[in-house]
A and B are shown apart, each in its own frame.
Chain A
Amino acid sequence: MDSLFLQYLLNWLVLGSIYTLVAIGFSLLFGLLNVIHFSHGDVSMIAPFVALGSLQFLLGITSSTVGIGPILLVLALAILVTGVIGIAADRLVISRFRQAPAMMALVATVALGTVVRELIRGFYPQGSNPKAFPSIVEGFVTLNSLRLPALPVLIIATTVLVIVLMAALMQKTPIGMRIRAVAEDAATARLMGITPSRIFAFTFFLASAVGALGALFFASYAGVVRFDFGVQLGLIGFSAAVIGGLGSMTGAVLGSLAIAGIETLVQANMADGASYRLVFCFLLVIFMLCVRPSGLLGKPVFEKV
């Protein structure tokens, strides 16, 4: 019973971690721009494909197994490339809707997500087929008397580290202060000598890079990646951010844990759990929003008359 419980606990925390990494991006961008970057999931899903492609390239050169150093390099490259694509997505599409009604940006980013998916499907070698994705680490780690599989531990530990680093970045560094200043009031921030466009670019890079990490973990944990995985990951990440309260990082974490929790519970306790998983996730979303319309940690919005 103990090992089964541990299994579920690990599963819950891993899913929660992956969703958190995606949800943080939604929260960060919404806090700054008041825009829902609906293609965030699809942009993040570019990372596993970059990683797979460059890994195959490396294998082609060395024609032997790849060591841990090159693997880290490949992962870093994938995260970097995805971050830059995040900036490009903003420059090419999203930035055009800064003054437009929120609905426009929403629909445009949904279309942008389709563009990203279709580009992968159409131009990545055999892009429409599912591809096996290797586990980043193999084996087990031993903590006291506990013997835990290494990958979940790595995912959870990395996510905790990322959250701590992000919080430190936002609260303790000059760039974090600038981001918060622009989020508060872009016009005044400009008067204070801050260039909002640079802050936007940096934030898009950060959000996409963290999302890329989430997508890499997701692919590695599932062992497989497909061009359209980004839709569901994006939808769940977005839901997690909204449940927690858009714009709040702690909220993103709580929302992710809530969604991952209900997913794990349903899968553990229902006969048909796997197929009804999404139904319960999104019923939770509806229920939460009806009970707390601005999310768990979202500030209630007061209207100015």
Chain B
Amino acid sequence: MSTTLTQTANRTGLPASLVVTVTEIAAAALLLAFLAAESTVMVVALLALMGAIFAGLQLWPQLEEVIVRAFHDARALATALALIIILIYPFFLGNNTYALHLLIVALIYSTLALALNFQLGSVNIPNFATGATYGIGAYTSALLAINFGWSFWATLPAAAITATVFGFLLGIPSMRTRDSYLALVTIAFGIVIQQLLNNLSWTGGANGLVGIPAPSLFGHSFMSPIEIAGRKLPPQANFYYLSAALLGLAILSAKRLHESRVGLAWNAIRADELAAKCQGINVVWYKILAFGVDAFLAAFAGTIYAFYISYISPDNFTFLVSVTIMTMVIVGGMDNTLGVILGAFLLTMLPEKLRVFSDYRLLFVSVVVILFLILRPKGLFPQRQRHYGEK
């Protein structure tokens, strides 16, 4: 396998660094064009272009192999270039705060989708409660900040720990139930949490929580614009960098976990739970662990969301939010980090960019999701084979 890969890469005669640079810059430019596109014609044209690129990758699988191989060979360059692109990206958006807002939401949803992927993708646990753990994180941090004056940075771990405890609690029934029954337990948990947020007085009830203070770092308030070399970035840019850092953390943990014994155990349980048990894998512990990891990351995302919007209400954490996140994972590609992020970006931006259809966009998106599930059941990017040994 590895020799044939090297040969294909060599046959094209392109140096890995060039392939990496071109791919990353092209992807960034495409995203930029999509974010900036305002007319329907432009949006549709860009969607068609994306479709064409995807069809190309489908027709010539070697192309995908070349790119994957190049990223593998020139990993340092790929990481460095990606970091630079992420850092300078807001400068290209100028004062288009709407585009920046979309980007932040997409980054937060990507993190949530990656969190869910630990369960749905890696272990095949149907968890419909991501919206609830996300909400627990957001509410914990917001309540601590408003009532006790905790700073953003202090609420972050507090929210993560609270949500993880709830995640473990939710994981307990997974010892006894499975499949449809487990799915219902998570649905029920999500609805109970959402209804409690909606009805309890100390969570602000249906009105939610208002006036969550903006975080600050080394004396720099996140409400104030960033100034670098005479250029001013809108205040949202603070949160853009913050959510990008969170997604980076999520990607890193996804990668580390996937390559560790834990990831292997998760995949073994997905393949055949009984066989995994016979191999001495502690199935219950690894399942509960998946719930915990999901909740931990989702709480981070919730905290950032709460401080970014500065207003949260139970409507942000409904059953439909959980379903949306689940759809992102399935449309993007289970257990494939890039696929999941792509799915999250697409499903965050599509409804926003289809405002022309205003009243019918939810209808349109749902139809697209169904078509996706029928035509491409493994997602945009299906999971890849694991590689062992050679670097």
Which one, A111, A290, A293, contacts B369 given CB within 8 A?
Answer: A111
Contact call B363/A118, Cβ cutoff below 8 A:
yes
Indicate whether B183 reaches chain A with its CB closer than 8 angstroms. yes
Q: Tell me the number of A-to-B contacts counted with CB atoms below 8 Å.
A: 116
Contact with B along A103-114 (1 / 0, CB 8 A): 110111011101
Given contacts A278-B195, A279-B196, A303-B274, contact A111 B370 (CB under 8 A): yes
Q: Which residues of B contact A303 (CB under 8 A)?
A: 274
Interface size class of A (residues with CB under 8 A): 35 or more
Q: Which residues of B contact A275 (CB under 8 A)?
A: 195, 198-199
Indicate whether B192 reaches chain A with its CB closer than 8 angstroms. yes
Indicate whether A61 reaches chain B with its CB closer than 8 angstroms. no
Contact call B181/A122, Cβ cutoff below 8 A:
no
Indicate whether A294 reaches chain B with its CB closer than 8 angstroms. yes
Contact with B along A261-286 (1 / 0, CB 8 A): 00000000000100110110011011
Q: Is the interface of A mostly helix, strand, loop or mixed?
A: helix
In the bound assembly, the distance between CA atoms of A295 and B374 in angstroms comes to 31
Contact call B362/A242, Cβ cutoff below 8 A:
no
Contact with A along B352-378 (1 / 0, CB 8 A): 000000011011001101100110010
Indicate whether B215 reaches chain A with its CB closer than 8 angstroms. no
Contact call B176/A246, Cβ cutoff below 8 A:
no
Q: Which of B174-232 contact A (CB under 8 A)?
A: 176-181, 183-185, 187-189, 191-192, 195-196, 198-199
Contact call B173/A286, Cβ cutoff below 8 A:
yes
Q: Which residues of B contact A248 (CB under 8 A)?
A: none
Q: Which of A87-120 contact B (CB under 8 A)?
A: 93, 96-97, 100-104, 106-108, 110-112, 114-115, 118-119
Indicate whether A30 reaches chain B with its CB closer than 8 angstroms. yes
Indicate whether B115 reaches chain A with its CB closer than 8 angstroms. no
Question: Closest CB of chain A to B249's CB: distance in Å?
Answer: 27
Which one, A235, A279, A285, contacts B199 given CB within 8 A?
Answer: A279
Which one, B176, B180, B319, contacts A36 given CB within 8 A?
Answer: B180
Indicate whether B341 reaches chain A with its CB closer than 8 angstroms. no
Indicate whether A146 reaches chain B with its CB closer than 8 angstroms. no
Which one, B181, B187, B199, B377, contacts A276 given CB within 8 A?
Answer: B199
Which one, B177, B192, B195, contacts A289 given CB within 8 A?
Answer: B177
- Which of A111, A246, A303 has the largest number of chain B CB atoms within 10 A? A111
Interface residues in B, total, Cβ within 8 A: 40
In the bound assembly, the distance between CA atoms of A235 and B195 in angstroms comes to 14
Indicate whether A238 reaches chain B with its CB closer than 8 angstroms. yes
Contact call B184/A242, Cβ cutoff below 8 A:
yes
User: Looking across the interface, which residue of chain A has its beta carbon closest to that of B186?
Assistant: A286
Contact call B370/A108, Cβ cutoff below 8 A:
yes
Indicate whether B330 reaches chain A with its CB closer than 8 angstroms. yes
Contact call A100/B363, Cβ cutoff below 8 A:
no
Contact call A104/B274, Cβ cutoff below 8 A:
no
User: Looking across the interface, which residue of chain A has its beta carbon closest to that of B188?
Assistant: A282
Which one, B183, B195, B327, contacts A111 given CB within 8 A?
Answer: B327
Which one, A108, A112, A293, contacts B181 given CB within 8 A?
Answer: A293
Indicate whether A305 reaches chain B with its CB closer than 8 angstroms. yes
Question: Closest CB of chain A to B136's CB: distance in Å?
Answer: 15
Contact call A242/B323, Cβ cutoff below 8 A:
no
Contact call B192/A283, Cβ cutoff below 8 A:
yes
Contact call A282/B191, Cβ cutoff below 8 A:
yes
Contact call B191/A278, Cβ cutoff below 8 A:
yes
Given contacts A118-B360, A278-B195, A279-B192, contact A110 B323 (CB under 8 A): yes
Contact call A279/B195, Cβ cutoff below 8 A:
yes
Q: Which of B334-391 contact A (CB under 8 A)?
A: 359-360, 362-363, 366-367, 369-370, 373-374, 377
In the bound assembly, the distance between CA atoms of A174 and B180 in angstroms comes to 30
A111-B373, A122-B360 given. 18 additional CB < 8 A pairs?
A: A97-B374, A102-B180, A103-B126, A106-B180, A106-B183, A107-B326, A111-B366, A111-B367, A111-B370, A114-B362, A115-B363, A118-B362, A119-B363, A242-B180, A242-B181, A282-B195, A285-B188, A290-B173
- 27 contacts across the A-B interface (CB closer than 8 A): A93-B374, A97-B374, A102-B180, A103-B124, A103-B126, A106-B180, A107-B330, A107-B373, A108-B374, A111-B367, A112-B370, A114-B363, A115-B366, A115-B367, A118-B360, A118-B363, A235-B191, A272-B199, A275-B195, A275-B198, A275-B199, A278-B192, A282-B187, A286-B192, A290-B172, A290-B185, A305-B274
User: Which 7 A-B pairs give the minimum distances between C-beta atoms?
Assistant: A118-B363, A282-B188, A114-B366, A293-B176, A285-B188, A111-B366, A111-B369
